[in-house]
A and B are shown apart, each in its own frame.
Chain A
Amino acid sequence: MARRSSRKRWLSGLRNTAAALIGLAWLVPLLWMFLSSVSNDADVYRVPPKLWPAWNWGNYARAWAARPWPRYFANTLIIALSVVAFTLVTSILAGFAFALMRFRGSKTLFYVVMSVMMVPQTVLLIPNFILAHTTGLYDTYWIQILPWAASVFGIFLLRQTLSALPTEIFEAAELDGAGPVSMLVRIAAPLAVPSLILIGLNTFMGSWSSFVWPYLMTQNDTVRPIEVGLQAFYGAEGTDWTGLSAAVTFTTLPVVILFFSLQKYFVQGAFSTQGAVQ
């Protein structure tokens, strides 16, 4: 018995050590980025980096002056929060309909929606660009929000989550006179909160870090997000690594803070949907 308990403790210690090491390994790129951001230009090429850099905070001042970051921050927030709001609404509506409402062609329609996942977005860029111009949406917030207002992943996840709920709940609600909207708002949505948080976080981070779409669909700093602004440090003949590292540090910080403050929900969401997906 004592031997088994000791073995358990040993295994648990090993597991925790391995987890801590993997966690630290994930921190290395962030640490490297920070060290580069306060290094001199010549030191940034050292491998491994100097653990006690030159503390050149001037890189931050230079990076901050290079682009209108407050504008970019505001733009990115407006775009990301709008995309999240739209995605959550469209995902829960479509997920609810596909999971719980019976209508003709629902399965076919669901597979059609899923098939969108298979289309590489790259091949649609030029037609989409022409469409953006034709509709007058080019170089606006809307062109960065509307195309992402529905998420196939979100619809799929909520359909699976809601399908896994006992049907008796909804049958009982129906007997009590609840209509589809009432069932959606009062039963389905509250029970799907972890999934909604997962979708929201995924969507937010995806929107925050998207580059190709906003780069192609915008021209002016007044509507451009952070990721496009970061390109300012890549030149045609080389890269300003210290400036880029400083800019990436102060632009990544909000997302890191958001992730750590909401990581409980993130993990919860991932685990709660695991069974549903299976």
Chain B
Amino acid sequence: MTRNPIRGLATLLVAGSMVLLSACSGSTAGSTPSASALPSLDPSKQTTITFMEAMSSGAQQAALKKMTADFEAQHPNVTVQLQEQPNYGALQTKITAQVAANSAPTIAQVYENWADELSSSNVIVPLDEYVASSKDYKDFYSGIQADMKLRDGKNWMWPFNKSVVVQYYNESLVPKAPATWGEFAQTAKSVSKNGVVALSIDPGSETSPAGGTALFEILAESFGTPVFAKDGTPQFDSDAAKKALNYLVDLKKSNALALGTNYPGQTALGNQTGAFDVSSVASYPFNQKAVGGKFVMGVAPLPAGTAKTANQLAGTNIAMFSSADDQQKAAAWAYMQFLTSPAEMAYWASQTGYLPVVKTAMDEQAMKDYLAKNPWVGDVVKQLDTATPLPPVSYVNKASGALSTAISSAVNGTASVDDALAQAQAAGKKAASES
């Protein structure tokens, strides 16, 4: 999860426009593909599809453009228009607006909870038939396969840029990555001196939960109970959640934790006032830039908790919109499969730091070369089998927002851990009941 300036705005707009989405559903529901046959791509027809995405800068932009150009070269009758949006908040706003205006893109990057909203309005198509026809699906990591489904058990999404959380650390301060959260706390406290605060996190805000909240959610699961039950019910006041929040409060009291905004862990690690950054594996190129060779930056999987080694599956999938015609759907499906083919996934991962969603990508030369330079990726990628995403329910952002507030108030000492989590639980349940 990342923080951005208009994510809060996006949340407001999405909430306000659900009525419009529902209104649009009537005219589009009928175009869901029948069980009998998938649309096939007619090579004699010129087809243009639009892909609304947020890979709009740096290595991500360059890699996606190259992959798209390669696809077009292989399919001369298909043109893929990349509709870049500056960030995920902006992407959500734009998808919502375009759907409401009956001008949805052919495909778009979506988070699981967005897909839940879009599927309930019938503006995206279920992909079960498509998935059944895929030759690579069986090689997807099991966590990825699970992530493609919504609560109804159907596949609504196709994976794309997936990541998990890792620990980045300054090897001159932390020679060996902690293996457990207990060790992590010990190390963090011992290195927090002479202007160093071991870890900086951004919990985000009520409308825009960020990486610090994801860390808390991972901690709670590591200590025994995930913050959301499998059906999406908030369980923010569990003993594990209390233990997780007490863990953060204790770090703060020991001057080993600071709260900030806008990738504070990356900033602190880069300017050597922090020892760790706990963030997405896709932050790797940005962290490398921030460190700039000042010290050796270690990367390791997250430590284990008292109950398990938990991780959160992050990043987005691709959804196909029902307003596309059959030719566009066929072209989009060809493009989606192309993006997740082993060779393309190996290229994508090696360029961007995202993890390849298909196991066979690890056999590709590009991935082998990448692994030789970054051996830690081999350990981290295995977590795609076990990492879990936040539940695909529409209220998940709002409920996580309540956790952001709880983290800030407990860590800053304006509320006790129990009170902060009780309030968050009440807010989470309210969000669930209102959805």
Contacts and interface: CB of A to CB of B under 8 A. Distances in A.
Nearest to B287: A238
Interface stretch (B218-226, B289-297, B319-327, B411-419): B289-297
Interface in B264-308: 266-267, 270-271, 279-280, 282-283, 285-287, 289-294
A126 B96 contact: yes
A42 B57 contact: no
Interface string B111-136: 00000000000000000000000000
Contacts of A123: 12, 16
Contacts of A236: 2, 54-55, 60, 87-88, 161, 282
B283 A238 contact: yes
A115 B16 CA distance: 22
B88 A215 contact: no
Contact of A126 (B17, B61, B90): B17
Chain A interface bracket (under 10, 10 to 19, 20 to 34, 35 or more): 20 to 34
A219 B101 CA distance: 14
Nearest to A47: B271
B290 A234 contact: no
Given A129-B97, A212-B6, A236-B54, A45 B271 contact: yes
Interface in A101-158: 122-123, 125-126, 129-130, 132-134, 138
A235 interface: yes
A42 B86 contact: no
- Per DSSP, are chain A's interface residues mostly helix, strand or loop, or mixed? helix
Contacts of A130: 20, 97, 100-101
B57 A126 contact: no
B182 interface: no
Contact of B83 (A43, A132, A134, A219): A219
B261 interface: no
A250 interface: no
A240 interface: yes
Interface in B1-52: 2, 4, 6, 9, 12-13, 16-17, 20
A232 interface: yes
Nearest to A41: B289
B76 interface: no
Contact of B290 (A42, A122, A228, A237): A42
Please indicate which of the listed interface residues A46, A212, A237 has the most CB atoms of chain B within 10 Å of its own CB: A237
Contacts of A18: none
B101 A133 contact: yes
Contact of A42 (B58, B283, B289): B289
Nearest to B281: A237
Contacts of B16: 123, 126
Given A235-B58, A237-B282, A122 B2 contact: no
A50 to B, nearest CB: 11
A176 to B, nearest CB: 54
A232 B90 CA distance: 12
27 contacts: A45-B290, A46-B271, A122-B9, A123-B12, A125-B93, A125-B97, A126-B13, A126-B20, A126-B96, A129-B98, A129-B100, A130-B97, A132-B101, A133-B103, A212-B9, A219-B83, A232-B56, A235-B57, A235-B87, A236-B2, A237-B280, A237-B283, A237-B353, A238-B263, A238-B283, A239-B286, A240-B58
Given A45-B270, A125-B13, 4 more contacts: A41-B290, A47-B271, A234-B87, A236-B2
